[in-house]
Amino acid sequence: MFVYILFSKNIDRFYVGMSNNPDRRLIYHNIGKGGGNAFTKRAHDWQIVFTQKFVDKQSASKFETHIKTQKSRRYIKSLIKNKAPR
């Protein structure tokens, strides 16, 4: 299971999600249907800027929640900066 962060230049926003296949999930976010998210439907230029793999869904969910509760672009940018290139 992965936690991933997407970024859209068009709307200058990050999106945090969780999936067992972030690359496939990115396609759904960008086409805006078939499992896309209401928030991500506002743009079609999403790019994966961060991924982190977890051994189970519970650990991934805990980390995803942690990121979302920070409510901080600065925190997200620090995660991206300190993570090895994808």
pTM of the model: 0.90
The residue type at 36 = G
Which CATH number among 3.30.479.30, 1.10.10.10, 3.40.1440.10, 3.30.2320.20 corresponds to the domain 2-82? Answer: 3.40.1440.10
The tens-digit pLDDT sequence of the chain (86 residues) is: 999 999 999 999 999 999 999 999 999 999 876 666 788 888 999 999 999 999 999 999 999 999 999 989 999 999 999 875 55
Non-local (6+) Cβ contacts of 1 within 8 A are 18, 19, 20, 53, 54, 55, 56, 57, 59, 60
Which tokens go with 68? 């979302």
| pLDDT of the residue at 34 | 60
Q: Measured between alpha carbons, how far is residue 62 from residues 2, 10, 24, 72 in Å?
A: 11, 29, 22, 17
- Boundaries of every domain in the chain: 2-82
